[in-house]
């Protein structure tokens, strides 16, 4: 077991209270580390360190391409420790080892991508009149806060932190108390790469303590949050009191829409992978399955066959499905399955699985629920487990109405060979990302990611995310009287 520390202003620290939080392995419930229980005072230290670093010459004189060099160096450090980090992410989160590797590879790509972008965000000139030169520049926004969720810690940290630092900001990361391990390693890399003190800071603690203190701090200039709608509302309200911009990536109830002319094998595999990744504990999970009525029996038969082949077990053994994070999350999923037994039909799964030697973990069979009512909780609320709810439609317009029938709008998968129909639906579905005959596109480092409606606002990933971490200044110069 490791006793880990926070990283504030270039120093490794315990919390002011000296209280600790236990970190457990989801595979078996064993304690693998302790972390400081950071609270308001610790957050204040980190924010002031970041503010002072932002204002000091040591940081603002670092040239854009030099910031890119720093980020590229971080990418190389992650690459060097790829095996260690993949195992660490797997043990910490519970996901299969191959998915842990995929997350590490995505982190490498984020740092590489934003390393290359650091000196390529340009300003503009605006024609006003003769004798006036008017130009626009993008400047760093200042102190940026990054509240990271427990399900994809290294990916989500990397995508926002790399963009923020590329643009010349300073950073405070608040990792999830359940899964802080890879964030600790990233803090080590930033320490070793020789950043000025205070440019990167990592605090640990509970969301309602450290997270709340960070989101309400008056010296924060931008806040990025990924998590539940309820917490996102609280974060946005706290930031709003300080007139601070936020980027929110919240929940999803994402549909896979399957037409009878689809490639059956590819659609079955795509639908399966979209719900079992990280045991369904994914905001972009394909948790609704919309099938053309005439094709339902054939597709469900093949999907049931595929589900029967899935393996369940500790992530480190690289099974198809790892454990649910903890008992709290497991009981939440079970409450939805209890509801399904009374108002729908469970076609497969829905039961807890006991894994020999890992009895302290919470494992669940992948589940398909049929005969779900469109306005039920099973149809409308994020279950956050390996659970699909099934619906049918008769034509394109009915599929469109079903796709748009929730308060979420994060990701949609379309499975059809009719390109005209695919484009029509892509135009009208209220979703931040549309995947046609695929789901996820290899992680999509370059593709803007975010949602419509209660899935949040603003965009992470890709070039557009850089603008989250800049503010626009206009300068007008009169050179003729």
Positive or negative, the Cα torsion across 423, 426, 429, 435? positive
Record the tokens describing residue 157, joined without a space: 């940290």
Residue 47, classed as helix, strand or coil, is helix
Which uninterrupted H or E stretch holds 444?
none
Across the strands, what pairs with 477? Answer: 133
Record the tokens describing residue 242, joined without a space: 């300080």
Question: How far is C-alpha 114 from the chain's CA centre?
Answer: 17
Which one of 89, 177, 249, 382 is the catalytic residue? 249
Query: Strand runs (DSSP E) across 157-203, as ranges?
Result: 170-174, 200-203
Residue 462, classed as helix, strand or coil, is coil
Q: CA end-to-end span of the chain, whole Å?
A: 73
List Cα–Cα distances, 348 to 134, 325, 430, in angstroms. Answer: 65, 22, 30
Across the strands, what pairs with 36? Answer: 20
**Beta strands 20-24 and 246-249, pairing class:** unpaired
Query: What's the CA angle centered on 250, arms 104 and 283, to 5 degrees?
Result: 50
Say if residues 157 and 105 touch (Cβ distance below 8 Å). no
Q: Based on the residue annotation, tell me whether 269 is a catalytic residue of this protein.
A: no
Question: What residues have CB less than 8 Å from 424, skipping those under 6 apart?
Answer: 396
Q: How many CA atoms lie within 13 A of 105 on its CB side?
A: 9
Q: Name the residues annotated as catalytic.
A: 249
């Amino acid at each position: 077991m490791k006793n880990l520390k926070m990283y504030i202003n270039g120093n490794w620290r315990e919390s002011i209270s000296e209280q600790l939080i236990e970190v457990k392995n989801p595979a078996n419930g064993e304690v693998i580390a302790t972390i400081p229980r950071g609270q308001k005072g610790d957050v204040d230290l980190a924010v002031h360190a970041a503010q002072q670093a932002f204002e000091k010459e040591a940081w603002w004189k670092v040239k854009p391409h030099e910031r890119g060099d720093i980020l590229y160096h971080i990418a190389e450090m992650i690459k060097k420790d790829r095996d260690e980090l993949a195992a660490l992410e797997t043990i910490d989160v519970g996901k299969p080892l191959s998915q842990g590797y995929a997350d590490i590879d995505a982190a490498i790509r984020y740092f590489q991508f934003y390393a290359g972008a650091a000196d390529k965000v340009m300003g503009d000139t605006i024609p006003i009149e003769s004798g006036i030169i008017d130009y626009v520049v993008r400047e760093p926004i200042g102190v940026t806060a990054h509240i990271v969720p427990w399900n994809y810690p290294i990916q989500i940290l990397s995508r926002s932190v790399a963009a923020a630092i590329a643009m010349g900001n300073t950073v405070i990361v608040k990792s999830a108390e359940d899964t802080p391990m890879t964030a600790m390693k990233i803090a080590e890399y930033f320490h070793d790469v020789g950043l000025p003190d205070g440019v990167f800071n990592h605090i640990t603690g509970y969301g309602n303590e450290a997270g709340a203190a960070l989101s309400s701090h008056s010296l924060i200039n931008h806040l990025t949050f990924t998590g539940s709608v309820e917490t996102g509302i609280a974060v946005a309200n706290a930031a709003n009191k300080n007139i601070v911009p936020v980027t929110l990536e919240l929940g999803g109830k994402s549909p896979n829409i399957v037409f009878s002319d689809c490639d059956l094998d590819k659609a079955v595999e795509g639908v399966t992978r979209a719900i079992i990744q990280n045991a369904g504990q994914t905001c972009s999970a394909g948790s609704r399955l919309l099938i053309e009525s005439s094709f339902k029996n054939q597709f469900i038969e093949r999907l049931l066959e595929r589900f029967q082949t899935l393996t369940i077990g500790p992530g480190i053994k690289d099974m198809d499905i790892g454990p649910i994070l903890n008992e709290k999350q497991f009981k939440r999923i079970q409450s939805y399955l209890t509801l399904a037994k009374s108002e729908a039909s469970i076609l497969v799964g829905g039961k807890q699985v006991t894994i020999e030697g890992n009895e302290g973990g919470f494992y669940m069979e992948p589940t398909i629920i049929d005969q779900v009512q469109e306005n039920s909780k099973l149809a409308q609320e994020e279950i956050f487990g390996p659970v699909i709810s099934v619906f049918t439609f008769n034509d394109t317009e009915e599929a469109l109405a079903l796709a748009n029938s929730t308060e979420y709008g994060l990701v949609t998968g379309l499975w059809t060979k009719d390109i005209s129909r695919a484009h029509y639906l892509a135009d009208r579905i209220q979703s931040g990302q549309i995947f046609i005959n695929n789901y996820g596109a290899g992680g999509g480092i370059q593709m803007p990611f975010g949602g419509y409606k209660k899935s949040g606002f603003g965009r992470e990933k890709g070039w557009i995310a850089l603008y989250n971490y800049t503010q626009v200044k206009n300068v007008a110069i009169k050179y003729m009287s």
